[in-house]
Amino acid sequence: MSTPSTSVKQGRSELGVALLLLVLGGWAVVDALRLTEQQSPGPIDAKTIPLVVGGLLILTAVLLAIDVLRGGRGEQEAGEDVDLGHGSDWKTLGLLAAAFLANILLIDRLGWPISGAVLFFGTAFALGSRHLIRNAIISIVLSVGSWYLFNLALGIALPVGILKGIL
Amino acid sequence: MNAFTELLNGFATAAHPTNLLYAFLGVLLGTAIGVLPGIGPAMTIALLLPLTYSLEPTQAFIMFAGIYYGGMYGGSTTSILLNTPGESASVVTAIEGNKMARRGRAAAALATAAIGSFVAGTIGTLGLALLAPAVVKLAIKMGAPDYFAVMVLAFIAVTTVLGSSKVRGLAALAIGLLIGLIGIDPTSGQQRLTLGIPELADGIDVVVVAVGLFAVGEALWIAAHLRRTPAEIIPVGAARMNREDWRRSWKPWLRGTVIGFPFGAIPAGGAEIPTFLSYVTEKKLTKHPEEFGKGAIEGVAGPEATNNASAAGGLVPLLTLGIPTTATAAVMLGAFQGYGIQPGPRLLQTQPELVWGLVASLFIGNAILLALNLPLAPMWAKLLRIPRPYLYAGILFFASIGAYAANLSTFDLWLLLVLGGLGFAMRRYGLPVVPAIIGIILGPTAEEQMRRALQISDGEVSGLYNTWFSKAVYVVILLVLVVPPLVGWIRNRRRPKDNDVLQHAEKTGD
C-alpha cells in the first residue's frame, strides 16, 4: 500500500489521534472536577457522566495507541469523487479555509449578499475552477438569490450589510 | 380510537393542498440533493433543515417525510450510475446495480430500485402505523432503567456494527458524548465544558453539529482528495422494466421488506446488515446464479427494498421511544427537538395530528417518489455531471447559510469550521461519523434517564437493571457483542469467498 517510510510517518500522525483523544478526555475530567457537588438531587451529580466520558476517551486513546503501535491503521473514507492515491492537498484546504474565514469575518460587516458571493467564488477557485467571470456571476446570483429566498420566502433575516436600501 | 381511524385523520391532514405541496417539494428537493455525489440522506436532511425553520411543525415534518425517502432514493441512483456509493446502506445495491448499468441495463436497475423502494416503503410504513401504537403501549410502562438500557444498546450497536475498527467506533462515540455534554447541566444548572463562552451555555445546535460533521467535513475531505479525472457516468433513459424483470423482481422486493423492517425497528445499527443479508438470500434463491457478480436484477431489487423497509422500521423507535438508530434518524430527532417536540411514548397522545400526518405523508411521499422518478431518471443522471468545484462550493455555501440561520450568529460559523475540521480528521483516520452523531444527540437523554434510575434506587447500581425488560436488553447487548465476531470467525473458516463482499460492505461506513 505504501512505502515503509510513509507508513511510519502515517503511524505517527495516527498517534496524534490518540493524543487528541487523551487531551479531550483530560479536559472532560478537569472540567468535571471543578464542578461543585451540592444542589444536585440524586446520588450521581453533574460530574459523574463527564468523568465517565473522560475516562472512556482516555481508555480509547490508550487502546488506539496500542492498535497503531501494533500496525493498525485507520481506514480513510472512500467516495465517488475521492482519489486516495495521493495525500491530502493542503493548498486546496488552505484556500478553502481562507474563503470560509472570509465569510465569517465579512458577513456582519458587508452582509450575506457579498460575503456569500466571496465564499462561493473563493471555494470554487480553491477547488480548481478557473472560469473567473462565469464563477463571479454564479456567485452573485446564488448569494443574492438565497438572501431573497431566506428574507422574503422563509422570513429569516440574513444580514443585508452595506447593500441596505439597495436590495 | 384505533390506529386505522387515526391514520385516516392523518391522511386528512396530509391531503390538504398546502401540505401536499410541501410533501411534493420535499420529495423533489430530497431526491435532487440526495442524488448529488457525496451527499447521503442524513446530510440531505441537515442541509435542507433551514428551509423548514419558518414552517409549522406539522408542515415541516410532512416535508421531512418527503426529504427522507427522496434522499434515500437519490443515494441509490448515485450508486447504480456511479458505483462507489456515498452511504453505507447503498453499498450492496451498488454491487449488482452498477454492473447492470455497465451492461446497458441502467434503466431496469433504476426501475427495480424505484418500484422496490415504493413497495417496501409502503409496506414498511403500514408496519409502522400498525406497530407504533403497540410499541407505545409497551413503552408507556417502561421506566428509566429500561430506557437507559435501550440507549446503551443503541450506542453499542452503532459502534460495533459500523466500520472495520471497533476501537475507532468507540472513540467516535466518546467524542460525540463529549460534545453532547457541552452546555448547562439541566439537573444542577452548572455549566459543563463551556470554556466560559456564553454561546456554548445552551449547547451546540444540532443543525450546526450535523452540517459541520457531515457537510463541511465531507466537503473538506473530498476537496483534499478531489479526483482529477471525472468519474465515469453511465447515460440512462427513462427507468422501465420488461416483463422478465418484473417476474424476477417482485419476490426479492417482498423478501427484502420482510428482512429490512425488523432490523430497522430494533435499535441495532442501521441498514448494513439487513441489506447484506438480503443480497446473500437472493444469491442463494435465484434461478440465475450465473448472473450474480455480472449484474443480476435480484441483487438490486432485494437490497434496495430492504434499505427502504429498514428506513421505515427505523421510524418506530424514533417516534415511540425517541431513540434514533441511524444518522438520518438522529438528524430527524434533532429537528424534532428544535421544534420543542420530544419523541417518545407520549408523542402519539400529545401530537396525534403531527405523528399521523407524518405517517400519512410517508405514504403520499412514496407515491410521489415513484411517479417522479421513473420519468425523471435521465434528469437525475444529468445532476451527476455537475462540475465538482461547483458541487462542493455549493455544499459549503449552503452549509454556511444553514448554520448561520439557526441562531443568526457568526459564532455558529466558527463552530461549523471547528466541527468540519473534526469531521475531516475523522474521515482521514477512519473514525466513523455516525456513532459521534448518535452520541451527541442521544447522550444527554441517556444521562437524564440514568440519573433518574439511580435516583429512584437511591444510588444502588442495581437500579439500572432491576426490571425484567432492562435485563433482557442487557442480554441482547451481550449477544450483539459476542455473536458477530463468532459468526465472522466461523465464516472466515468456512467460506472465504462470501467474506469478500462483506468486507467491501464494511469499507464504506459513513
pLDDT, tens digit (0-9, with 9 covering 90-100), for B331-390: 888 888 878 888 888 888 888 888 898 899 999 999 998 988 888 888 888 888 888 899
Over range B135-164, report the average pLDDT.
Answer: 86
Range with the poorest average pLDDT among A40-54, B64-78, B248-262: A40-54
Contact between chains at B226 and A81 (C-beta distance less than 8 A)? yes
B73 occurs within a structural domain: yes
Contacts of A19 (CB under 8 A, 6+ apart): A61
Q: How confident is residue B203, by pLDDT bands cut at 50, 70 and 90?
A: confident
Task: Quickly count: other Cβ atoms within 10 Å of residue B383's Cβ.
Answer: 18
Which of B63, B437, B119, B479 is closest to B307 using CA atoms?
B119
| Largest pairwise CA distance in chain A | 65
Over range B124-147, report the average pLDDT.
Answer: 90
Give the pLDDT confidence score for residue B48 in this predicted structure.
87
Distance (Å) from the alpha carbon of A25 to chain B's nearest alpha carbon = 9
Which three cell numbers mark B55?
414552517
Distance (Å) from the alpha carbon of B350 to chain A's nearest alpha carbon = 27
Contact between chains at B192 and A35 (C-beta distance less than 8 A)? yes
User: What percent of chain B has a predicted confidence (pLDDT) above 90?
Assistant: 28
DSSP state of B291: G
pLDDT at A5 over 50: no
Distance (Å) from the alpha carbon of B299 to chain A's nearest alpha carbon = 21
**Is A43 an 8 Å CB contact of chain B?**
yes
| Distance from C-alpha of B298 to C-alpha of B290, rounded to nearest angstrom | 12
pLDDT at A25 over 60: yes
Which three cell numbers mark B242?
420488461
B14 occurs within a structural domain: yes
Q: How confident is residue B92, by pLDDT bands cut at 50, 70 and 90?
A: confident
Over range B158-162, report the average pLDDT.
Answer: 76
Q: Looking at chain B, how many residues does it have?
A: 510
Is residue B209 exposed (0-12), middle (13-18) or buried (19+ Cβ within 10 Å)? buried
More confident residue, A164 or B425: B425
CB pairs under 8 A between A and B: 240
Q: What is the pLDDT of residues B307-321, one digit of tens each?
A: 899 989 999 999 998
Residue B340: which region, alpha, beta or left (left: phi > 0; alpha: psi -120 to 50)? left
B207 occurs within a structural domain: yes
Residue A128: which region, alpha, beta or left (left: phi > 0; alpha: psi -120 to 50)? left
Q: Which of A49, A84, A119 minimises the CB distance to B225?
A: A84
Distance (Å) from the alpha carbon of A120 to chain B's nearest alpha carbon = 6
Range with the poorest average pLDDT among A20-29, B13-22, B170-179: B13-22
Interface test with B, best of A49, A103, A120 (most B CBs within 10 A): A49
Which of B25, B17, B33 is closest to B65 using CA atoms?
B25
Residues 98-157 (A) with a CB less than 8 A from some CB of B:
99-101, 103-104, 107-108, 112, 116, 119-120, 123-129, 138, 142-143, 146, 150, 154-157
Give the pLDDT confidence score for residue B86 in this predicted structure.
57
pLDDT at B64 over 90: no
Contact status, residue A68 vs residue A14, Cβ threshold 8 Å: yes
Contacts of A50 (CB under 8 A, 6+ apart): A28, A29, A31, A32, A35, B181, B192, B193
B180 occurs within a structural domain: no
Contact between chains at B428 and A88 (C-beta distance less than 8 A)? yes
Which three cell numbers mark B501?
463482499
pLDDT at A112 over 70: yes
Which of B81, B498, B508, B110 is closest to B283 using CA atoms?
B498
Residue whose C-alpha cell reads 391532514 in the numeric block: B13
Q: What is the pLDDT of residues B473-497, one digit of tens each?
A: 999 889 888 887 788 788 777 755 5
B107 occurs within a structural domain: yes
Over range A129-139, report the average pLDDT.
Answer: 94
Distance (Å) from the alpha carbon of A146 to chain B's nearest alpha carbon = 9
Give the pLDDT confidence score for residue A3 in this predicted structure.
41
What is the rounded (10 degree) CA torsion for B4, B9, B12, B13? Answer: -130
Contact between chains at A107 and B171 (C-beta distance less than 8 A)? no
Over range B178-207, report the average pLDDT.
Answer: 88
Give the pLDDT confidence score for residue B505 in this predicted structure.
45
Residues 62-81 (A) with a CB less than 8 A from some CB of B:
63-64, 67, 72-81
Query: Phi and psi at residue B226, in whole multiples of 5°?
Result: -60, 130
Q: Which of A50, A124, A156 minimises the CB distance to B390?
A: A124
Say whether the ipTM exceeds 0.85: yes
Give the pLDDT confidence score for residue B88 in this predicted structure.
65
The type of residue at A5 is: S
Which of B318, B321, B320 is closest to B332 using CA atoms?
B318
Query: Phi and psi at residue B184, in whole multiples of 5°?
Result: -80, 130
| Distance from C-alpha of B483 to C-alpha of B306, rounded to nearest angstrom | 22
B192: chain A residues, CB-CB within 8 Å:
31-32, 35, 46, 50
Range with the poorest average pLDDT among A4-13, B66-75, B232-241: A4-13
Give the pLDDT confidence score for residue B414 in this predicted structure.
95
Q: What is the pLDDT of residues B208-223, one digit of tens each?
A: 888 899 889 989 998 8
Which SS3 state, helix, strand or coil, does residue A37 take? coil
Which three cell numbers mark B454?
439511580
Q: How confident is residue B413, by pLDDT bands cut at 50, 70 and 90?
A: very high
Q: What is the mean pLDDT of chain B?
A: 85
B164 occurs within a structural domain: no
Q: What is the pLDDT of residues A68-102, one digit of tens each?
A: 998 888 888 877 678 887 778 899 999 999 999 99
Q: What sign does the CA torsion over A75, A77, A80, A82 have?
A: negative
Give the pLDDT confidence score for residue B295 in this predicted structure.
86
Which SS3 state, helix, strand or coil, does residue B226 take? strand
B85 occurs within a structural domain: yes
| Distance from C-alpha of A123 to C-alpha of B389, rounded to nearest angstrom | 8
Domain that holds residue B24: 3-144+203-410
Give the pLDDT confidence score for residue B496 in this predicted structure.
52
B239 occurs within a structural domain: yes
pLDDT at A4 over 50: no
The type of residue at B187 is: T
The type of residue at B51 is: L
Gyration radius of chain A's alpha carbons: 24
More confident residue, A153 or A106: A106
Which three cell numbers mark A121?
467564488
Q: At A109, which helix (H) or strand (E)?
A: helix A90-110
Q: At B192, which helix (H) or strand (E)?
A: strand B191-192
Give the pLDDT confidence score for residue B163 in this predicted structure.
65
Give the pLDDT confidence score for residue B69 in this predicted structure.
85
Interface test with A, best of B25, B429, B455, B456 (most A CBs within 10 A): B429
Cα dist from B92 to A126, B348, B504, whole Å: 34, 35, 9
| Distance from C-alpha of B458 to C-alpha of B443, rounded to nearest angstrom | 22
Range with the poorest average pLDDT among A139-148, B216-225, B272-281: B272-281
Contacts of B138 (CB under 8 A, 6+ apart): none
Which of B216, B49, B155, B214 is closest to B441 using CA atoms?
B155
B226 DSSP β-pair partners: A82
Which of B71, B392, B147, B474 is closest to A129 using CA atoms?
B392
pLDDT at A40 over 80: no
Which of B54, B51, B58, B338 is closest to B207 using CA atoms?
B338
What's the structural domain count of chain B? 1
Which three cell numbers mark B461?
447500581
| Distance from C-alpha of B450 to C-alpha of B464, rounded to nearest angstrom | 7
| Distance from C-alpha of B59 to C-alpha of B401, rounded to nearest angstrom | 21
**Is A35 an 8 Å CB contact of chain B?**
yes
Q: How confident is residue B509, by pLDDT bands cut at 50, 70 and 90?
A: very low
pLDDT at B420 over 90: yes
Q: Which of B54, B164, B396 minimises the CB distance to A156?
A: B54
Contact status, residue B372 vs residue B27, Cβ threshold 8 Å: yes
